[in-house]
Chain A
């Protein structure tokens, strides 16, 4: 690849984002700062997961990278070009979240329609085959399952044979089987050397598929590294116990004040305790506090997620609302 006027002979990074900022006005409220000075560089050929709770700014960031939304501030280069120019040149394409297909067209008609907008698209038959849609080619989009529609969006994204492929929560709302099928299709395509950036809040997807994980919260990057690096940020092991039913509030207060406890999280009868020295905390819980059924869990991506974003990935799916009924979560200054 030749760069005009540049001294570099390396291809430009697939995506280069600096100081990206986007605010949304809200009626009667302060503007929402969806993306807040985000920096990100994705080298060509990398498979990267963009992880974060709903409202973290993932979709807004991806929309700006794709030229669908204009940033308030900051710069974006995609394959060395401005976003809209990169889309026009077929350098970048995307599988967007649900919606956005015409229900009364068939699968193959949809592919033909989108293909007609490109100058040199891949053949319709080829992308239909690669997305695993050959048997569904003449089915109406309205009759396709969510997973099948998502594979259709994937077929559409393959049409320009993009260097960069962006997937915005591609498996949201799919059942387990559909999710596995979708990722199997993706894995088969990844060999092509494409840069893939996918947003998700399924930690296991990020774990299984990405070389690198970038975690965002409140519009900023809060962690960036390989899966194992991120997991190590999980700030240690977690203890879970059954608390005594009698006088729980004071019991929880005493647990919080134990040396090394960083976080106490109550879910029904079960109490989850994050601590730096789990052995001594476990001893105190069993010996002095009458805790029962104690378990100690190794750090997971989930615990890293909680430690870094202050939210549970599962809870985040219901728009930031906590998913346990009678409980509270308290952060204890370390």
Chain B
């Protein structure tokens, strides 16, 4: 990793107010509105309460928004000629990837950290493993979605494409059972969408595998562990395959 490059990349992130709003501010706002401010926020869920459940969901949403944006812009910059500029330096591709990965993780930590701190002061309750495992799964899983951003950057090569990639995350978050609990046919569909496995695994230590069933008030159903794992694994493979295809397609267009 190149520390000067890393520091300048962080500076670039905080300079982009729109990015900071969507990655850090909006997920915090969502947590407050859908979690802390709700009357049922202290109802019990597994090893904690609803506020904690919403906290993990929104932190996951903020983290993937961060990594999609960093992954997308990394690909776009390279396709737009910055890659050629770096090609005139001794920097190796590995150093570039490592530096961007470190930036992605650091930026993803911003919404996670902010929401966890706000939640800790606004009534989120859960045992220590739920906090730790929740945070770690959010961070590691978010890396998968940097590949999702990468695909958009490789194929469309424009700032607005990266914005669009982040925008699709809102839809995927609804479909992925992230923003509010789905039920019935929608819940069945949700299990096949990309964000479902990720957020379900992040909340699993807290929920102990029980997911809220929105139609019947307060009732829960148990979900076997393999379901979210297969979901995340399959989508990881799909994203990586698409990214590889996009790299080859991009090379042909050069």
Contact = CB atoms under 8 A, between A and B. Distances in A.
B90 A102 contact: no
B8 interface: yes
Interface in B71-122: 77, 80-91
Contacts of A102: 12, 77, 82
The interface residues of chain A, by DSSP majority, are classed as loop
Contact of B82 (A66, A101, A119): A101
Contacts of A98: 81
A8 B11 CA distance: 50
Give the size category of A's interface with B.
20 to 34
A117 B2 contact: yes
B88 A66 contact: yes
Interface string B1-33: 011110010011001100000000000000000
A93 B12 contact: no
Interface in A95-127: 96, 98-102, 104-105, 109, 112-119
Nearest to A159: B89
A157 B90 CA distance: 13
B87 A88 contact: no
Contact of B89 (A25, A96, A105, A114): A114
A90 interface: yes
A119 B86 CA distance: 15
A48 interface: no
Interface string A136-165: 000000000000000001001100000000
Given A87-B88, A101-B85, 7 more contacts: A87-B89, A88-B90, A93-B88, A117-B2, A117-B86, A117-B90, A117-B91
Nearest to A115: B4
A102 B82 CA distance: 7
B4 A104 contact: no
Contacts of A114: 85, 89
Contacts of A213: none
Given A68-B87, A116-B2, A100 B8 contact: no
Which one of B5, B11, B85, B252 has the highest number of Cβ atoms from chain A below 10 Å of its Cβ? B85
Interface residues of B, number: 23
A81 B4 CA distance: 29
B164 to A, nearest CB: 19
Contacts of B88: 66, 68, 87, 93-94, 96, 156-157
B90 A68 contact: no
A67 interface: yes
A104 B85 contact: no
Interface of B: 2-5, 8, 11-12, 15-16, 77, 80-91, 252
19 contacts: A66-B87, A68-B87, A68-B88, A93-B88, A96-B84, A99-B84, A100-B80, A100-B83, A101-B81, A101-B82, A101-B85, A109-B11, A112-B4, A112-B8, A113-B4, A113-B8, A114-B89, A118-B90, A153-B85
A101 B88 CA distance: 13
Nearest to B87: A68
Nearest to A157: B88
Which one of A90, A104, A117, A157 has the highest number of Cβ atoms from chain B below 10 Å of its Cβ? A117
Which one of B81, B84, B86 has the highest number of Cβ atoms from chain A below 10 Å of its Cβ? B84
Contacts of B81: 96, 98-101
A119 B16 CA distance: 31
A117 B89 contact: yes
A164 to B, nearest CB: 12
A89 B88 CA distance: 11
Contacts of B86: 117
Contacts of B4: 112-113, 115-116
Given A100-B80, A112-B8, A119 B85 contact: no
A311 to B, nearest CB: 25
Contacts of A68: 84, 87-88
B74 to A, nearest CB: 11
A290 to B, nearest CB: 54
Interface in A75-97: 87-90, 93-94, 96
A109 B83 CA distance: 17
B85 A118 contact: no
A102 B76 CA distance: 11
Which one of B84, B88, B90, B252 has the highest number of Cβ atoms from chain A below 10 Å of its Cβ? B88
Contacts of A96: 81, 84-85, 88
A305 B225 CA distance: 72
B104 to A, nearest CB: 17
B89 A118 contact: yes
A89 to B, nearest CB: 8
